[in-house]
Amino acid sequence: MTLDATHNPLAHSWVESANDPCCDFPIQNLPFGRFRLGPHAEWRAGVAIGAQVLDLQQAGLLDSADMAAVMALSASQRRALRHRLFEGLRSGSHLQSHWELALFVRSEVEIGLPCPVGDYTDFYTGIHHATTVGKLFRPDAPLLPNYHWVPIGYHGRASSIAASGQCFHRPHGQVMAAGDSAPQLLPTRRMDYELELAIWVAQGNALGEPVCMQQAEDHVWGLSLLNDWSARDVQAWEYQPLGPFLAKNFATTVSPWVVTLDALAPFRSKPLRPADAPQPLPYLDSPANRSSGAFDIELEVWLQTAAMQAAGLAAQRLSQSNYLDACWTLAQLLAHHTVNGCNLRAGDVLGTGTLSGPQAEQGGSLLELSQGGKLPLTLHNGEQRTFLEDGDTVILKAYAERAGARRIGFGECRGTVLAARV
Ligand code: MN
C-alpha cells in the first residue's frame, strides 16, 4: 500500500491516448479485463491503456490468454506484473515496438466480463441508503439494531451478471397492490437501479479457513462498478423474511475493467464511521483498516431516456456520491464473509450495496431520489421519472482524484431496460 514509481503523476505512456488528462485509463491505472475479436473468438486477458487494450499473452506477459492465470498470482506477483506493464508502456520503453503489435483499439473489439463469475454476494454497506430506504419500509426503525455490528448481505445470483452494455426485458414478478387481497404476476412498475461497486476476488480461501483482516486485501483483485437492478414492487412483497430474490436476480451489470487496489493506493483514506456507532468486533478491526481501509472514489449516475436519445441529447447526471460514505470497508466484508469458514473462490463478486451520500439528492437509486415514488424527478428535457421506463439507459461512472496523483477512472457501467416480453 506504499506508493511507488507506478503512481508517479508525471509518468507518460508511448500510447498517446493514455496521456489525455480526461482519460480513465492512464499508465497509472492499468485495469484488467477480457476482450475478443469476434462473437465466436476466444476471450483474451488484457489491460486497458488509453483508448487501447494490451493483449497480455501477445505481449509476452502470460503463457495463455486465460485471465485465470492473472487471478492465480499472489498479491506480490500481481504487483510485479503491474510494474512490468508500467515499464513496458512508459514513454521510452524498449518494448514499444514489440508491444505495439499486441495493442487493439478498444472500440473495435468486444469487451466481456473480466472473468467467469462464480458466486455473488451483495452487501448493504451504504449507511445513507440503508437509513433512507429503511425509513420508507419501517418509519419507526430505519436502521435495524444489527446494522453497526454485522456487515449485512445476501447471496445473489451470478448467472445474470453481464458486462456493460447489458440490455434486458422489464421483468415480471409477483406484485401485491395496495388494497388488493391477492398478488398478481405483472411486469414490474417500479424498475430501479442501484449504484454500487463490485469487489472482485482473485484468490480464494480454503473451506473452513477464515481470512483475517490483515490478509483480506491480498485476496482482492480490484474494483469495478456494479448496477444491482431492482424491481421495487416485487422486492416489497417478497423480501420478508429471507431477503431479496426475484426482485434482483434478473440482471446485474458491471463495468468490465478491474481497477486494482495497487492502482487505488494514492486514494486510500481513513474509514468514516458514525460517531455513535460501536467499535467493530476484533475480527473486523485492524490498525491498517482504521488508518487507511477506505477508498476515496467519486461515483455518478447518469440517465439517457429513449426520448433524449431520439432527440440527440446527451445523458443527464442524476446524482453523485463517494465510496467513503460506506459503513464497512472491503477488508471487513472479506473477513466477515469467511469468519464462519465459508470459502471464497477466484472470480467471486462482492457488491458493496448502494452507495448513497448523506444529502437527499445523493441517493444511489430512484427509490431514494423519488422518496419511494412519491416525488417525481423532472429531467432537463421536461420528462418525469419516479422509476425507470422502457428504453431508459442508466450509466454509472467512477473516478478517483486527489492532489499529487494522476486521476484514474473506472470506465462506464451501462445498461438499458427494454419493454417486458409479452
Ligand atoms: Mn444492492
Tell me the per-residue pLDDT of 354-364, one tens digit each, with 9 for 90 and over.
Answer: 999 999 999 99
What's the pLDDT at 1?
59
Residue 116 Cα, ligand 1 centroid: separation in angstroms? 20
Spell out the residues 6+ positions from residue 130 whose beta carbon is closer than 8 angstroms to its own. Answer: 124, 142, 143, 147, 152, 327, 353
Which tens digits make up the pLDDT trace of 79-135? Answer: 999 999 999 999 999 999 999 999 999 999 999 999 999 999 999 999 999 999 999
Spell out the residues 6+ positions from residue 165 whose beta carbon is closer than 8 angstroms to its own. Answer: 414, 415
Residue 292 Cα, ligand 1 centroid: separation in angstroms? 25
List the domain boundaries for the chain.
5-111, 120-418
Q: Is the peptide bond before 210 cis (omega within 30 degrees of 0)?
A: no
User: By C-alpha distance, which of 297, 325, 348 is closest to 131?
Assistant: 325
Q: Which residues have C-beta under 5 Å from ligand 1, the single-atom ion?
A: 122, 194, 228
Q: What is the pTM of this model?
A: 0.98
- What average pLDDT does the segment 227-243 reach? 95
Residue 314 Cα, ligand 1 centroid: separation in angstroms? 27
How many CB atoms are closer than 10 A to CB 165?
16
Q: Cβ distance 25 to 73 under 8 Å? A: no
Q: Cβ distance 61 to 84 under 8 Å? A: yes
Domain 120-418 has what CATH class? alpha beta
Residue 229 Cα, ligand 1 centroid: separation in angstroms? 8
Considering the domain delimited by 5-111, tell me its CATH architecture. Answer: Roll (2.30)
Strands 384-385 and 230-231: unpaired
Residue 245 Cα, ligand 1 centroid: separation in angstroms? 11
CA distances from 308 to 303, 370, 379, 383 (A): 9, 20, 10, 9
* Reported confidence tier of residue 278, pLDDT bands at 50, 70, 90: very high
Strands 195-201 and 377-378: unpaired
How many CB atoms are closer than 10 A to CB 167?
13
Q: Which residues are catalytic?
A: 129
